[in-house]
Amino acid sequence: MTKRDFLDIASQTPATLRTILDEAHRLKAAGRDRLDMLTGNTLAMLFEQVSTRTRFSFDLAMRELGGDTIVASGGEMQLGRGESLGDTAAVLSRYVDAIMIRMLDHDGLVTFARQASIPVINGLTRRSHPCQIMADIQTIEERLGPISERTVAWVGDGNNVAATFVEAATRLNFRLKIATPSELELPATLVASAEAEGAKLEVGLDPWKAVKDADVVVTDTWTSMGDIDEDRRRTLLTPFRVDNALMAAAAPNAIFLHCLPAHRGEEVTDEVMDGPQSAVFDEAENRVHAQKAILAWCFGAIG
């Protein structure tokens, strides 16, 4: 079987994404009992930065599919002392059966995957967060039905999660309305490429216009790993805070998503985070189920 990497949404076909999402729904419905799909396989999890949800959810996902895990940070490996990405990938390919890696440099991730002879999964880069978006879409479909019939509004920073939503809109045919400060907008090349592929995008600067009649409102933290201009970003993003008034502009049954960690009182208020429209903790749980399905696909157990 050809090696299956899961590095971003854009490199997957709509059929593959649909297969993974359908499996995620099936696995969640089946419960959390240990399965035997990946018995005898080991997943290495490599973290350049600290992690809560990615670490716990991937560990649980692999174990609940019957496999084993090994976790290491950059500081615990020779990778943190100057060993090349290619050499690390080649060595680990002799030890384990798949690798999930979380690192900021997306080009470095691509290099790592190219040198690995086993599946590589993107746990997060500065450019892309595909596993998170698969969990988000699973959550949307649980609450509202097929994603292809929905309108998603992104409000805030044009970051890696927003960029991955653009890729998903291209592949899964939902409408995406984006509002960011002009200083933090998504790359024009990304938007143009998605529109050329038929993505239904509306990109602007007004959060109220983006949220109007949307089925889903999504935001993220104003300061991500590696950002150094926190005060400037807070000033730019304050008008994009999601509060009850902004949520009221969305469709009556709209849900709110945030990939966490949330800085309450900054990008979102307590009333929204803890309110009846919030699906953030279902979304966090669904990282386990979506990643089970991704792992199953990477190992060839589905699709």
Which of 175, 242, 182 is closest to 207 using CA atoms?
242
234 a catalytic residue: no
The answer to whether the CB of 132 falls within 8 A of the CB of 160 is no
Q: Considering all CA atoms of the chain, what is the largest pairwise distance in Å, rounded to the nearest integer? A: 55
CA angle at 132 for the pair 131 and 135, rounded to the nearest 5°:
90
Which residue in 53, 241, 259, 289 is the catalytic one? Answer: 259
132 a catalytic residue: yes
Which residue in 53, 129, 171, 258 is the catalytic one? Answer: 129
Token pair 């999504």 is found at 218
Which residue in 287, 289, 291, 298 is the catalytic one? Answer: 287
Cβ partners under 8 Å of residue 159, min gap 6: 184, 220, 224
Q: How far apart are CA 103 and CA 79, in angstroms?
A: 12
287 a catalytic residue: yes
Which residue in 5, 157, 220, 233 is the catalytic one? Answer: 220
243 a catalytic residue: no
Q: Provide the token pair at 136.
A: 């988000």
8 a catalytic residue: no
Q: Provide the token pair at 101.
A: 């890696």
The amino acid at residue 39 is: T
Residue 26, Ramachandran bin (φ over 0: left; ψ between -120 and 50: alpha; else beta): alpha
291 a catalytic residue: no
Which residue in 4, 53, 55, 102 is the catalytic one? Answer: 102
Q: How far apart are CA 251 and CA 254, in angstroms?
A: 5
Which residue in 12, 132, 138, 277 is the catalytic one? Answer: 132
**Which residues are the active-site residues?**
102, 129, 132, 220, 259, 287
